[in-house]
């Protein structure tokens, strides 16, 4: 569970949402292929939700491009997650370079190590910035981002955040800051906060304007546009799924509003692990997510999002071609298409997911 206590670096804490009992009622169906007991335990429900808080620091230095924060020459530990040691060493070396200053107005952190990744933009950065709305001086302050992303900008508009001055820091020198606010939502946590869910609900409400034509209710998130974790036999998988009326979608071809509407309308979502599955935060409770995982990269992060939203979560693990020296995101893998077909048959026989081809669902 996330520790929202004040460390020696964090001089003030404002709790947005305290930890509280949190009960899910949807199904959690892990296949036998998730055979490691420790991994299976990572997917199990937490009885307590994660807390959410804003931490405030004074007289610190932010080192681009990823937003590492240093106080008194040492790194603030809450900002260092996800970094390789040599990246931290490079940031420490950068402290010797000339600095710029942003100390005339409050400054808010709107990025972390993964600021360019859609998954982290949607599930961490957008809720974190939304959590700054009630902080004194936010509208008159400055928001540090990695790059001024159109997706981030539009997502903030959808969740009703009045955006202050944005400072893109990716190419800037070290930045000295008088007052800096950092959200706990930008750091690792065991479970997303229900506060995040309220942010996603506001986005849904604003994106669900009536549109013409039906949307598919059974979708496969096709990663044909991604070079990461290449799936060797994805075309074979897509062809098989089409026999069940499951339509492949390439999310990079859709705008944010279109992705929100697509996932809100979907009753069955199938896909390999990837950033696009973050969109399950927009799905309607009671829908089903069936996630395919490579055996070298078994992570529960999408599961936790699905459970937060009240989705039935199913998953299976498939064989990868991992080998020493090969980066995990470059590692190819292959799914057992027949095994997936059996699982889809089981899902369709368990739930009423008939494809009625309705128009966009109500919020």
* Predicted model pTM: 0.90
Cα pseudo-dihedral 73, 79, 83, 84, rounded to 10 = 30
Q: Which two tokens stand for residue 84?
A: 């390789």
What is residue 11's predicted lDDT score, i.e. its pLDDT? 62
Residues ≥6 apart with Cβ < 8 Å to 153: 163, 166
Neighbours of 91 (CB within 10 A): 24
What is residue 276's predicted lDDT score, i.e. its pLDDT? 94
User: Residue 173, CB half-sphere, CA atoms under 13 Å: how many?
Assistant: 9
- How far apart, in whole angstroms, are the C-alpha atoms of residue 117 and residue 277? 12
Q: Which two tokens stand for residue 40?
A: 């299976």
What is residue 360's predicted lDDT score, i.e. its pLDDT? 41
- How far apart, in whole angstroms, are the C-alpha atoms of residue 251 and residue 260? 11
What is residue 210's predicted lDDT score, i.e. its pLDDT? 66
| Distance set, CA 329 to CA 12, 38, 323 (Å) | 38, 22, 12
User: pLDDT per residue over 221-239, tens digit each?
Assistant: 998 887 888 899 999 999 9
User: pLDDT per residue over 51-89, tens digit each?
Assistant: 899 999 999 999 988 889 999 888 888 888 777 778 888
What is residue 212's predicted lDDT score, i.e. its pLDDT? 61
Q: At what angle do helices 194-207 and 301-309 cross, to 10 degrees?
A: 70
Q: Name residues of the chain where pLDDT drops below 70.
A: 1-11, 189-191, 210-213, 354-363
**Helices H, strands E: what count in the chain?**
10, 15
């Amino acid at each position: 569970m996330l520790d929202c206590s004040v460390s020696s670096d964090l001089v003030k804490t404002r709790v947005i949402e305290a930890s509280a009992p949190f009960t899910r009622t949807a199904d959690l169906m892990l296949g036998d292929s998730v055979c490691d007991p420790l991994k299976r335990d990572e997917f199990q429900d937490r009885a307590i939700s994660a807390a959410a808080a804003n931490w405030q620091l004074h007289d610190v230095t932010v080192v681009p491009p990823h937003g590492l924060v240093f106080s008194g020459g040492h790194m603030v530990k809450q900002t260092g997650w996800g970094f390789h040691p040599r990246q931290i060493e490079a940031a420490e070396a950068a402290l010797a370079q000339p600095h710029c200053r942003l100390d005339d107005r409050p400054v808010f952190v709107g990025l972390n190590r993964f600021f360019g990744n859609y998954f982290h933009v949607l599930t961490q950065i957008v809720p974190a910035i939304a959590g700054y709305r009630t902080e004194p001086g936010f509208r008159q302050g400055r928001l540090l981002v990695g790059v001024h992303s159109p997706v981030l900008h539009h997502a903030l508009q959808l969740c009703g955040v009045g955006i202050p001055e944005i400072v893109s820091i990716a190419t800037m020198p070290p930045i000295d800051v008088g007052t800096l606010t950092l959200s706990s939502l930008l750091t690792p946590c065991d479970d997303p906060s229900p506060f995040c869910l309220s942010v996603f609900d506001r986005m849904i409400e604003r994106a669900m304007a009536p549109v013409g034509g039906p949307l598919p209710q059974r979708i496969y998130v096709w990663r044909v546009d991604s070079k990461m974790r290449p799936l060797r036999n994805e075309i074979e998988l897509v062809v098989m799924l089409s026999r069940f009326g499951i339509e492949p979608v390439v999310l990079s071809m859709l705008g944010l509003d279109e992705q929100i509407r697509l996932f809100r309308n979907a009753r069955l979502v199938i896909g390999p692990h990837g950033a696009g599955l973050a969109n399950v935060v927009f799905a309607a409770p009671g829908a089903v997510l069936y996630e395919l995982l490579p055996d070298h990269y078994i992570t529960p992060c999408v599961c936790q999002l699905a459970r937060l939203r009240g989705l039935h979560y199913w998953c299976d693990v498939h064989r990868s071609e991992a080998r020493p020296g090969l980066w995990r995101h470059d590692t190819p893998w292959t799914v057992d298409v027949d095994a997936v077909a059996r699982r889809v048959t089981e899902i369709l026989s368990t739930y009423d997911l008939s494809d009625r081809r309705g128009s966009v669902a109500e919020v």
